Amino acid sequence: GAVVSQHPSRVICKSGTSVKIECRSLDFQATTMFWYRQFPKQSLMLMATSNEGSKATYEQGVEKDKFLINHASLTLSTLTVTSAHPEDSSFYICSAKSTGTVYSNQPQHFGDGTRLSIL
């Protein structure tokens, strides 16, 4: 089945550090990937839609300069949390859909998430 790998799984760093999270589709090509944020005991909130070869589309209220997204290839999207502060601590999850199925009735495939803790 379709596998999405997310790395790292856990990051603990000091305030002011920039942190990069990678999302890879291992056995399929993904023109579009999605980044979510999840607070403890809450649901997933869509942050942005990552498009290969073009700018990401951010949801309302998400700072694009804070959360930099790069989708450099058909199998890799990265989310960089710039100058992270304690309030950025959260669980970040990516997902992907196979190229050609973005608008179809097919499920998204999720990574295992990255737990980010800013001290």
Partner 1 sequence: SQQGEEDPQALSIQEGENATMNCSYKTSINNLQWYRQNSGRGLVHLILIRSNEREKHSGRLRVTLDTSKKSSSLLITASRAADTASYFCATAYSGNTGKLIFGQGTTLQVKP
Which residue ranges make up the site for partner 1 (CB under 8 A)?
Answer: 4, 6, 32, 34, 41-46, 49, 57, 91, 93, 95, 97, 102-103, 105-113, 115
Q: Which is nearer to partner 1, 70 or 101 (CB)?
A: 101
Q: Which is nearer to partner 1, 16 or 77 (CB)?
A: 77
Cβ pair 49, 57 in contact under 8 A: yes
CB of 57 to partner 1, least distance (A): 7
Q: Which is nearer to partner 1, 38 or 82 (CB)?
A: 38
CB of 5 to partner 1, least distance (A): 10
CB of 46 to partner 1, least distance (A): 6
Contacting residues for 30 by C-beta, under 8 A, at least 6 apart: 52, 74, 75, 77, 96, 97, 98, 99
Q: Which is nearer to partner 1, 29 or 83 (CB)?
A: 29
CB of 75 to partner 1, least distance (A): 17
